[in-house]
């Protein structure tokens, strides 16, 4: 695949101005070694929604933009507060202030993707093993078993408690003062989350992702866009699939993002889970939730839909999964190719660490591969997104009509038995709509697949409506 060859050029060895280690969650010291990347990274504070330059006003509410979302999420925290996402610099503070956190008790697992939490996991994991945990020991190595243990330990704890743990982990910058438990600051995603501090190689650190990828590798989902998985399977599927040892560099350029930009379960009834046992397609994920039971034996669900009483699933930002179904993934194009394109800076090329919408950087993000004028490329994306948005609105209309029909059927006394198949249709319809609506590329990451999923959503919503009306006429007939 010649288009990627040049990306595989060797890096010139870098000169370390300061030492960074496995506890260096603060990006500032890294910035002394890599000023360009750090400078870019700091740009993620900019936000096209609010003022440029780090204004911290919250981004627009999706609930107000799309009022049907309130009905979709009725009875769930998302119906209280749900906003446009923005740059990485905001991830921790946006989570701290969302009314989903301030008004609802959330789990500590939320921080898995919103903070530079790995040294904290390691510390807690090591502490469980009983040893004394000094800053030196923490800094020594990544120690995956300890990280996993810590992750398991805090996943179902309260959000506030886990948040407090962050500042108890030494970060090599904050100096401990006697009697002050504050040993490090809490940071949003930081260099250490994607880079090995010794070699600067990219790596993945998130337990949820590592476990998820292992499940995926052990499934029989054909994943032509992930050749290392196929290779691992072909060579006998020994032990566990580990992205950090098995994946190609090009795969890693997507995996670092797949650590967080995925569908998950994250609440108090189960450890944080990425539902990839059957594969990465929308149906595969649904099947895993369908087949999951909580420890108390109850069937898995995310929330009880308030208007109708149906137990339903919530889809969250499945960028990695949708991208996997698209032509870019199939052609070996990684998240980083578009969201962190190479830029010439003086005599060298660096990856833009201003992770953002490629549409703000079409020249570098797209024109390396597509030799069409910027305006043309923008129009292509607009067209794909417009088609998707139109279908989302169509599916949303069907969905709200469905809610009305179910509510009416319940009002006219439909039995639970009669409602059972209708609730199944409702769950499917809502899952599909949410899957594409909560994905953040408005269909771009896999244009036909997005339309297909929305078509199914419409189908199930409208089937549910017809079934309600049928009940209705059946019941009136027998009245």
Partner 1 sequence: MMSDEESQRNDRELGDAEGSDKEVPDDSSPGRGKFWGGRRFGRGAIVFALCLGLLAGLGVFTFGYGKGASYMSNNPETCVNCHVMQSHMDSWLQSSHHQVAVCNDCHLPHDFIGKWVTKADNGFFHSLAFTLGGFKDPIQIKPRNRRVTQGACIDCHQDLVHPLLPETAGGDMLMCVHCHTSVGHAAR
The 8-class DSSP code of residue 158 comes to: B
Nearer to ligand HEC, 266 or 405 (CB): 266
The span from the CA of 379 to the CA of 284, in Å, is 32
Which partner from the list Ca ion, ligand HEC, a second copy, none does 458 bind, CB cut-off 5 to 8 Å by kind? Answer: a second copy
The region, left, alpha or beta by phi > 0 then psi within -120 to 50, assigned to residue 278 is alpha
Report in angstroms how near the CB of residue 325 gets to partner 1 at its nearest: 16
Which partner from the list Ca ion, ligand HEC, a second copy, none does 285 bind, CB cut-off 5 to 8 Å by kind? Answer: none
Where along the sequence are the contacts to partner 1 (CB under 8 A)?
1-12, 199-201, 225, 227-228, 231, 248-251, 330-334, 337, 342-344, 347-351, 363-364, 367-369, 371-376
Q: Report yes or no: 358 and 339 within 8 Å, Cβ to Cβ.
A: yes
Nearer to partner 1, 37 or 310 (CB): 37
Q: Does 358 bind ligand HEC (CB under 6 A)?
A: yes
Which partner from the list partner 1, a second copy, Ca ion, none does 249 bind, CB cut-off 5 to 8 Å by kind? Answer: partner 1
The span from the CA of 22 to the CA of 49, in Å, is 34
The span from the CA of 388 to the CA of 113, in Å, is 27
Report in angstroms how near the CB of residue 285 gets to a second copy at its nearest: 17
Q: Using CB under 6 A, which of 18, 176, 369, 455 touches ligand HEC? A: 369
Count other Cβ atoms within 10 Å, centred on residue 34.
21
Report in angstroms how near the CB of residue 438 gets to partner 1 at its nearest: 27
Residues 6+ apart with CB under 8 A from 62: 69, 82, 83, 84
Total residues contacting ligand HEC by CB under 6 A comes to: 96
Nearer to Ca ion, 68 or 313 (CB): 313
The span from the CA of 382 to the CA of 377, in Å, is 9
Q: Does 272 bind ligand HEC (CB under 6 A)?
A: yes
Count other Cβ atoms within 10 Å, centred on residue 14.
10
Residues 6+ apart with CB under 8 A from 389: 442, 443
* Contacts with ligand HEC, 111-150, as mask; x by CB under 6 A: -xxx------------------------------------
The span from the CA of 302 to the CA of 438, in Å, is 15
- 405 to 434, contacts with a second copy by CB under 8 A? 405
Q: Does 194 bind ligand HEC (CB under 6 A)?
A: yes
For residue 255, give the nearest of 203, 304, 177 by alpha carbon. 203
Report in angstroms how near the CB of residue 167 gets to ligand HEC at its nearest: 18
The span from the CA of 79 to the CA of 71, in Å, is 8
Q: Does 77 bind a second copy (CB under 8 A)?
A: no
Q: Report yes or no: 191 and 178 within 8 Å, Cβ to Cβ.
A: no
Which partner from the list ligand HEC, a second copy, partner 1, none does 227 bind, CB cut-off 5 to 8 Å by kind? Answer: partner 1
Report in angstroms how near the CB of residue 160 gets to Ca ion at its nearest: 22
- 310 to 339, contacts with Ca ion by CB under 5 A? 314, 316
Q: Does 261 bind Ca ion (CB under 5 A)?
A: no
Which partner from the list partner 1, a second copy, ligand HEC, none does 133 bind, CB cut-off 5 to 8 Å by kind? Answer: none
Report in angstroms how near the CB of residue 334 gets to partner 1 at its nearest: 8
Which partner from the list partner 1, ligand HEC, Ca ion, none does 272 bind, CB cut-off 5 to 8 Å by kind? Answer: ligand HEC
Report in angstroms how near the CB of residue 95 gets to ligand HEC at its nearest: 4
The 8-class DSSP code of residue 426 comes to: H
Terminal C-alpha separation, the chain: 69
Report in angstroms how near the CB of residue 141 gets to ligand HEC at its nearest: 20
DSSP for 207-268 reads HHHHHHHHHHHHS----TT-HHHHHHHHTT--S---HHHHS-HHHHHHHHHHTTSS--EEET
| Helix pair 416-438, 447-478: axis angle to 10 deg | 160
Q: Does 432 bind Ca ion (CB under 5 A)?
A: no
Q: Does 108 bind ligand HEC (CB under 6 A)?
A: no
Q: Using CB under 8 A, which of 103, 198, 376, 382 touches a second copy? A: 376
Q: Using CB under 6 A, which of 123, 314, 353, 462 touches ligand HEC? A: 353
Report in angstroms how near the CB of residue 105 gets to a second copy at its nearest: 39
Nearer to a second copy, 267 or 377 (CB): 377
DSSP for 55-78 reads --PPPPBHHHH-THHHHHTTTSGG
Q: Does 459 bind a second copy (CB under 8 A)?
A: yes
- 370 to 389, contacts with ligand HEC by CB under 6 A? 370-371, 377, 380-381, 384
With the CA atoms of 378, 449, 284 and 417 taken in that order, what torsion angle do they form, in degrees rounded to the nearest 10? Answer: 120
Q: Does 470 bind a second copy (CB under 8 A)?
A: yes
Count other Cβ atoms within 10 Å, centred on residue 114.
21
Residues at the contact surface with Ca ion, assessed by CB under 5 A: 314, 316
């Amino acid at each position: 695949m010649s288009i990627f060859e040049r990306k595989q050029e060797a890096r010139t060895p870098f000169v370390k101005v300061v030492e960074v280690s496995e506890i260096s969650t603060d990006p500032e010291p890294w910035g002394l070694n890599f000023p360009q990347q750090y400078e870019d990274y700091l740009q993620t504070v900019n936000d096209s929604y609010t003022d440029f330059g780090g204004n911290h006003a919250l981004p627009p509410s999706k609930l107000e933009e799309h009022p049907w979302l309130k009905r979709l999420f009725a009875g769930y925290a998302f119906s209280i507060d749900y906003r446009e996402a923005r740059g990485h610099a905001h991830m921790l503070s946006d989570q701290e202030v969302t009314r989903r956190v301030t008004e609802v008790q959330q789990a500590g697992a939320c921080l898995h993707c919103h903070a530079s939490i790995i040294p904290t996991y390691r510390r807690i994991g090591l502490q469980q093993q009983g040893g004394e945990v000094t800053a030196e020991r923490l800094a020594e190595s990544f120690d995956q078993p300890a990280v996993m243990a810590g992750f398991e330990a805090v996943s179902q704890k309260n959000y506030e408690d886990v948040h407090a743990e962050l500042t108890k982990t030494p970060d090599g910058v904050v100096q401990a003062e006697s009697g002050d438990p504050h040993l490090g600051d809490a940071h949003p995603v930081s260099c250490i989350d994607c880079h090995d501090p010794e070699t600067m190689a990219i790596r993945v650190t998130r337990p949820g992702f590592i476990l998820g990828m292992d499940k995926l590798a052990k499934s029989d989902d054909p994943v032509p866009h992930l050749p290392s998985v196929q290779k691992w399977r072909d060579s006998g599927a020994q032990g566990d699939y580990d992205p950090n040892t098995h994946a190609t560099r090009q795969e890693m350029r997507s995996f670092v993002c797949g650590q967080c930009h995925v569908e998950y379960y994250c609440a108090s009834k189960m450890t944080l889970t990425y539902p990839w046992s059957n594969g990465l397609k929308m149906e595969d994920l649904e099947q895993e939730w369908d087949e999951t039971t909580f420890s108390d034996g109850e069937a898995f669900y995310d929330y009880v839909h308030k208007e109708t009483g149906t137990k339903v699933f919530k889809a969250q930002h499945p960028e990695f999964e949708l991208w996997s179904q698209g032509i870019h993934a199939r052609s070996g194009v990684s998240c980083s190719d578009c969201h962190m394109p190479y830029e010439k800076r003086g005599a060298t090329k660096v990856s833009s660490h201003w992770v953002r919408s490629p549409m703000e950087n079409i020249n570098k993000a797209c024109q390396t591969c597509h030799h069409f004028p910027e305006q043309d490329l923008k129009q292509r994306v607009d067209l794909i997104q417009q088609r998707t948005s139109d279908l989302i609105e169509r599916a949303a209309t069907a969905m709200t009509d469905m809610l009305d029909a179910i509510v009416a059927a319940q009002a006219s006394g439909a039995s639970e038995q009669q409602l059972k198949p209708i609730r199944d249709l409702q769950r499917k319809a809502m899952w599909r709509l949410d899957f594409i609506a909560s994905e953040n590329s408005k269909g771009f990451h896999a244009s036909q697949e997005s339309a297909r999923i929305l078509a199914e959503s419409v189908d199930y919503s409208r089937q549910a409506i017809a079934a309600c009306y049928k009940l209705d006429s059946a019941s009136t007939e027998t009245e």
